Amino acid sequence: MNRIFTVQECPSTIAQDKLTTAVEKRTSVCPIIFIFIICLQTITANLFAQSAATYPVTITVAKDGTGNYKNIQDAINALRAYSPTHNTIYIKNGLYKEKVTIPAWVTNLSIKGESKDSTILTNSDYSGKFLFADTVNNKQKHSTFTSYTLYVQGNDIDIENMTIQNAAGKVGQAVALHVDGDRFILRNCNLLGNQDTLLTANDSARQYFENCFIEGTTDFIFGNATAVFSQCTIHSLSNSYITAASTMPHQKFGYVFMNCQLTANEKTDKVYLGRPWRAFAKTVFLNCNLGKHIRSEGWHNWGNKDNEVTAFYAEYNNVGEGAITQSRVAWSKQLSNKQAKKYTLKNIFSGWQPK
């Protein structure tokens, strides 16, 4: 009587016994199934390994080749879109001559430079500069909005310990950092440029700047995001305007400066705190040290008296030679103690607390 072998018996029994053709056909299926399962497991394991390798969560950038990438943009491009895990890019000291974009689908990311003054991202585009070397056949030019050195589109991005520079010089609008993303944090960084150094864009975005050095000439902090500047040094390079907010009517807050130092170079002695890029601009300075370069009138209406009705410009408890308020424009405000109490991060950012 012919035996029907179990799967466990198949490998040894087939080799030893002479079975009928029918039995051999039935039992030969066993090793085929076994081999198929092993192959499937191997392929699956390889796919998971490749997936993990394709989307690293920690990347190091180094100009000398000791990291994963030599360029910042290459590291950003390697990240997983809408990553469910937090990613970190470490950037070693060096001069990175790049124009970098963090696209909208790159979120949940920390960028950490090795040091504030020696990890430098720089570029030199400006509004009016030709986009292409062939200016005969292609006369396209940069605008303010394409002149950036670093453009942050994604949400939940934080950057620390580095310098972001637009080195174009005094050639007009030349943005160093352009931020569209919500819940953006910049800590312990230098923002270097001249006109339009920092563009805080997007009326639904909340942006937080802490312990940063920000320099420029005209309107070098501008845009319509809700932005807080805490313990920053705001350094003027010429007699002009610091802020040019374009706050929208529905926004409760625009620019808020807390515990900041306002400084200037030796040749600069007549600087306005701000002027309204759009009619409903909101800018407030609280507990800041205003240098002697700040003009006694404080604020400018951008040549439009109607802006004096719609713009909200206010100060509270500032000190320094530029903080004397007796000669401020009549349409600006001095906050009371009660009014100043609402200027907390929780209120300004609608519950979001930068960490």
Computed on alpha carbons and rounded to an integer, the radius of gyration of the chain in Å comes to 30
Give the three-class secondary structure for 112.
strand
Tokens at 42, concatenated: 């191997």
Nearest CA to 72 out of 119, 137, 29, 35 is that of: 119
Catalytic residue positions, numbered? 196, 219
Query: What does residue 302 show for φ and ψ, rounded to 5 degrees?
Result: 60, 35
SS3 content of the chain, % helix, strand, coil (to 5): 20, 30, 50
Give the three-class secondary structure for 340.
helix
Contacts of 124-130 with CB under 8 Å at 24 or more apart are 124/166, 124/167, 124/168, 124/169, 124/174, 125/99, 125/149, 125/166, 125/168, 125/174, 126/166, 126/168, 126/171, 126/172, 126/173, 126/174, 127/172, 127/173, 127/174, 128/171, 128/172, 129/168, 129/171
HSE-CB at 235 with a 13 A cutoff on CA atoms is 14
Query: At which residue do the structure tokens 């990613």 appear?
Result: 87
Rounded Cα distance, 94 and 163, in Å: 10
**Neighbour-count burial of 67, counting CB atoms closer than 10 A to its CB (0-12 exposed, 13-18 middle, 19+ buried):** middle
